């Protein structure tokens, strides 16, 4: 992708879909990308809301779960995505950042028949991560982010950082910790930041490999079913997306029995960091 007159374009010069939101204003000096989840029923419904004047909210970009990108606000304008917020000396991050919204249900509720969003949308167990938010509040279910969505969001964020010389990637819960929980513990901020600006996490485990034949499961525990790719052979390279206790949510970099794009949970004791 590339940016032409503050609008996203594909490399063949075709425009990324653009639906202009009225919820914008002048005066932006961007230094950051801020990641959000929509807490909506779908990308389409979230775009409809963020382009509605009644919302009094918007974002520069919305990314669907399939990786489809829609721009709502030109990059030389403020989108109203941050609200009351602060990062260091910067107050009111609308004036200092681009907002990327990811189609995601956010925090989930457990019922006898499974997980649902706050408005009743059913979410499959394989798309749920149980974790405590870094700002507290106990363990809850959180809607995970599929690889296609993360890849598209990283492509947009990397382009914005390179084109506008930005400083960092932040979460809404970083800049408004008393009010917001998005993008939440299911969002792999450490690996996402490393992907878009080249900063690894503090543990050195961003890239890892299995030290033995290792089962990969649908969730963080032996009670979750094994994926068909199990067991991963010793020496299989993976990218760590998230952590929950001793378990690691990983994306398998290598081809396993002819299968690509395998993603699941493995026990961290059987991973070793690689350069």
Beta strands (DSSP E) in 93-172 are: 97-102, 107-111, 114-116, 122-123, 128-132, 139-143, 168-171
- CA–CA separation, 186 vs 188, rounded Å? 6
The DSSP output letter for 51 is T
- CA–CA separation, 198 vs 158, rounded Å? 10
Helix H or strand E encompassing 45: helix 43-50
- CA–CA separation, 141 vs 118, rounded Å? 11
Cα-to-chain-centroid distance, residue 134: 16
Half-sphere CA count of 13, side-chain side, radius 13 A: 0
Q: Does residue 49 sit in helix, strand or coil?
A: helix
Largest Cα–Cα distance of the chain, in whole Å? 56
- CA–CA separation, 127 vs 123, rounded Å? 7
**Nearest C-alpha neighbor of 50 from the set 17, 9, 79, 82:** 79
The DSSP output letter for 40 is S
The DSSP output letter for 98 is E
What are the residue numbers of the active site?
101
């Amino acid at each position: 992708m590339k940016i032409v007159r503050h609008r996203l374009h594909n490399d063949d010069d075709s425009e990324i879909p653009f639906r202009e939101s009225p919820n914008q204003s002048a005066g932006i000096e961007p230094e950051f990308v801020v990641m959000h989840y929509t807490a909506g029923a779908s990308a389409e419904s979230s775009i409809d809301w963020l382009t509605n004047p009644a919302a009094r909210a918007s974002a520069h970009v919305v990314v669907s779960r399939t990786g489809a990108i829609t721009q709502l606000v030109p990059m030389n304008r403020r989108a109203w995505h941050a609200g009351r917020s602060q990062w260091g000396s910067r107050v009111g991050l609308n004036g200092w950042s681009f907002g990327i919204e990811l189609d995601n249900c956010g925090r989930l509720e457990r019922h006898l028949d499974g997980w649902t969003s706050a408005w009743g949308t059913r979410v499959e167990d394989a798309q749920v991560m149980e974790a405590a938010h870094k700002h507290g509040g106990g363990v809850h279910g959180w809607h995970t982010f599929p690889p296609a969505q993360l890849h598209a969001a990283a492509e947009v964020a990397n382009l914005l950082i390179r084109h506008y010389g930005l400083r960092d990637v932040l979460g809404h819960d970083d800049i408004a910790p008393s009010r917001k929980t998005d993008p939440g513990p299911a969002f792999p901020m450490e690996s996402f930041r490393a992907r878009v600006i080249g900063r690894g996490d503090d543990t050195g485990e961003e890239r890892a490999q299995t030290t033995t034949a290792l089962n990969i499961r649908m969730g963080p525990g032996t009670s979750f079913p094994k994926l068909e790719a199990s067991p991963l052979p010793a020496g299989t390279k993976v990218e760590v997306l998230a952590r929950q206790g001793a378990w690691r949510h990983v994306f398998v970099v290598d081809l396993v029995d002819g299968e690509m794009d395998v993603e699941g949970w493995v026990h961290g004791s059987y991973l070793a960091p690689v350069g």
